[in-house]
Amino acid sequence: MPNTFSSFRRATGLAAALIATTALAGCQVPFVTDTSRVNPNVFVQETAPVFHVPPYQDPPSNQPPPMPGAIPQKRQLYPSDFHQKYDLGATYGLPVSNPVYRTMYDVTRDADHTLPAIPYSRVDQRFLRSQVDYRTNEAPGTIIVDTRAHYLYLVQPGGKAMRYGVGLGKAGFAWSGRGVIQRKAKWPRWTPPDEMVTRDPGLRQFAAAEGGATPGLNNPLGARALYIFKDGKDTLYRVHGTPDWQSVGKATSSGCVRMFNQDVIDLFDRVPNGTPIVVT
């Protein structure tokens, strides 16, 4: 009896297989719809991960509104949204993601003033503050301004230096030589030299006889000024901050050494009066 049942089951299985094979051979429509997912190229496209990359947004700038009687500017300091959107790669370089820079160049409260953040991702990374290897015969504590590379170095012991990006004077207005920082000022007044007033009569309202420009966020000297003297006389050249962060790394000033406001505050706190300075 068991042998008979086993034989019957084998026969039934063979018959079912034969029927299925015959039906499959005559079937004009496949059991599984072909979606081309067996194609490796299609598979890669359909299974590739998708990452959400939010659009870049500037840190809050707290940029002050224009003030009556503000110092006239030769160009727009803060470009429109259109310029910021379409000139990023060509004008400002690649984004910088180092979180240390966010701390260095964030909104800064200083005395009664609030300095806007520097959009450091739009600045060539070379001009952001950093400690670097630097070999020189100058003593530690000396300020060296490299006018060709647009760097200011504060020499430190052990072959190191703090390096800052700077804006410098246009051709014909630059100064070079050796001097000392004989005076330092926080939130200084700006008084354009007589020859500058002669070139631009619109600055006459800020001349020394008028008391100079009021300290503040719109003042061309920014948050700090270090006054360069030579042989006991004022050279009329300064190391100073600037409200125009885009001028750092360029030759746009009338001979002075411009720095980001956050950087000039850092330098101001590091150097005393009498600090030697070399501009090459």
For the stretch 177-201, pLDDT in tens is 999 999 999 999 988 777 776 787 7
**Confidence band for 11, pLDDT divided at 50, 70 and 90:** low
Are the C-beta atoms of 234 and 109 separated by less than 8 Å? no
SS3 261: helix
pLDDT tens digits along 21-54: 544 444 444 444 555 556 666 665 666 565 555 6
CATH numeric code, 87-279: 2.40.440.10
Q: Each residue of 32-41: b (16+ CB within 10 Å) or e?
A: eeeeeeeeee
